[in-house]
Amino acid sequence: MIPTSFDYVRAASVSEVIQLLKSFQGEGKLIAGGHSLVPMMKFRLTTPGTLIDITAIKELKGVRKEGNRLVIGALTTYAEVLGDPLVAEHLPVLVEGVRQIGDIQVRNKGTIGGSIAHADPAADLPALALALDAVVHLHGEDGEEKIPIQEFLFGPFITALPETSLVTAVSFAIPPAEAHSTYVKYFHPASGYAVVGVAAVASKTPDGVINHIRIGITGAGDVAFRAEEVEKHLFGNTASKENIIQASNLAAADVDMGEDLFASGEYRKHLCQVYTERALRAVLLP
Ligand SMILES: Cc1cc2nc3c(=O)[nH]c(=O)nc-3n(C[C@H](O)[C@H](O)[C@H](O)COP(=O)(O)OP(=O)(O)OC[C@H]3O[C@@H](n4cnc5c(N)ncnc54)[C@H](O)[C@@H]3O)c2cc1C
């Protein structure tokens, strides 16, 4: 398939992007790495009148440390994340997870902002973002805004991003120094996307009591989610095999599972339990 015809404009600054989005009144779409947008245009699932290329805007690139967070510019590619020393030092789970996204081509082009804005229910980054208490930085007509990831992701391909705003960065909390973290994924055998992906970050006091626990799950439902029942079950308790098994059984509690030709809702629920248990064993009984 080829896309319907469209116009193209290259923006030089964040303020120009906002002006362009305003002037196109919903008919303009940003393009970053193009690895989700272009396939959708080819399938004619989206037919933008104008593509606004944001790849020349330098201020949207790079990684910086601000207090206890790493701020990653929206245009930073997965490959740049993988090669960044700050990310390697402070967010090893992001390296582990991003390494599992697509192939080299996808990782060379795909961007952090593009993935978060696209909100594909089978994408990997949302689970990692939830486990790392991410905050999405936006810029729009009324200036800058910061939205916690749980309030940003609404549903499949649906976010809190206003029509005339763009994502400028995503910031991730640096876990406690003694924390362990992991990302485990059941790859779809054809697409490589997550049928289920579980990101876990946890730490314990010296006497073994869990004092920090975050579990983000992607792929299973309409939108990535925090496994809050699992977290509640474990927080303040000791990390034992028994506790981990009990907690993992709550991984898909109160969440509607997705269903397709490859995996039924029941199977996805089972995968949530199995992959959560694997992730918890890795971070709590390393
Ligand atoms: C073969 C293949 C395999 C893949 N495998 C995986 C995988 O295993 N796991 C995974 O998670 N993903 C996978 N992807 C998707 C890939 O990660 C995408 O590149 C990514 O999700 C989108 O980033 P992008 O920069 O390419 O965004 P684009 O395709 O350029 O844009 C996607 C959407 O986000 C919007 N957008 C982009 N940047 C911004 C911004 N700064 N602010 C606001 N809106 C913005 C666009 O308007 C568009 O609606 C795969 C893609 C391909 C082609």
DSSP output for the chain: --PPP-EEEE--SHHHHHHHHHHHTT-EEEESS-TTHHHHHHTTS---SEEEE-TT-GGG--EEEETTEEEEETT-BHHHHHT-HHHHHH-HHHHHHHTTSS-HHHHHH-BHHHHHHH--TT-SHHHHHHHTT-EEEEEETTEEEEEEHHHHEEETTEES--TT-EEEEEEEEPPPTT-EEEEEEEE-TTT-SEEEEEEEEEEE-TTSBEEEEEEEEESSBSS-EE-HHHHHHHTTSB--HHHHHHHHTTTTTT-PBP--SS--HHHHHHHHHHHHHHHHHHHH--
User: Which residues line ligand 1 at a C-beta cut-off of 6 Å?
Assistant: 29-37, 39, 54, 74, 101-102, 106, 109-111, 113-115, 117-118, 120, 123-125, 161, 166-167, 192-193
Name the closest-CA residue to atom 23, ligand 1. 114
pLDDT of residue 263: 93
pLDDT digits (tens, 9 = 90+) for 130-142: 999 999 999 999 9
Ligand 1 centre distance from Cα of residue 212 (Å): 31
Backbone dihedral angles phi then psi of residue 161, each to the nearest 5 degrees: -70, 115
pLDDT of residue 254: 81
Ligand 1 centre distance from Cα of residue 89 (Å): 25
pLDDT of residue 156: 95
- Residue ranges in the chain whose pLDDT is less than 50: none
Ligand 1 atom closest to the Cα of residue 31 is 30
pLDDT of residue 1: 79
pLDDT of residue 198: 98
Ligand 1 atom closest to the Cα of residue 192 is 8
Ligand 1 atom closest to the Cα of residue 48 is 47
pLDDT of residue 253: 86
Which residue in 40, 20, 45 sits closest to 30, CA to CA?
20
